[in-house]
Amino acid sequence: MPQPGWKSISLPEEMVEEIARIIRERPELGYKSVSSFVIAAIRRLIEETKPTLEHFNVYEDHVTIIDHKRRRLVNVYFRNGRIYCELCQEAECPHTEYALNIPKIQEALREKGWIIKEGKVIRKPF
Ligand SMILES: [Zn+2]
Task: Give domain limits for the chain.
Answer: 13-49, 53-123
What's the pLDDT band for 126 if we cut at 50, 70, 90? low
CA 16 vs CA 8, 27, 28, 41: distances in Å: 14, 16, 19, 13
16-46 confidence digits (pLDDT tens): 999 999 999 999 999 999 999 999 999 999 8
Gap from CA of 85 to ligand 1 centroid (Å)? 5
* Phi, psi for 46 (deg, rounded to 5): -60, -45
C-alpha distance from residue 55 to each of 4, 6, 25, 47 (Å): 37, 34, 44, 18
DSSP 107: H
User: What DSSP designation does 59 have?
Assistant: -
- Indicate the residue type of 49: T
Ligand 1 centroid to Cα of residue 100, in Å, is 12
Question: What is the pTM for the complete model shown?
Answer: 0.63
Q: How far is the CA of 63 from the centre of ligand 1 (A)?
A: 12
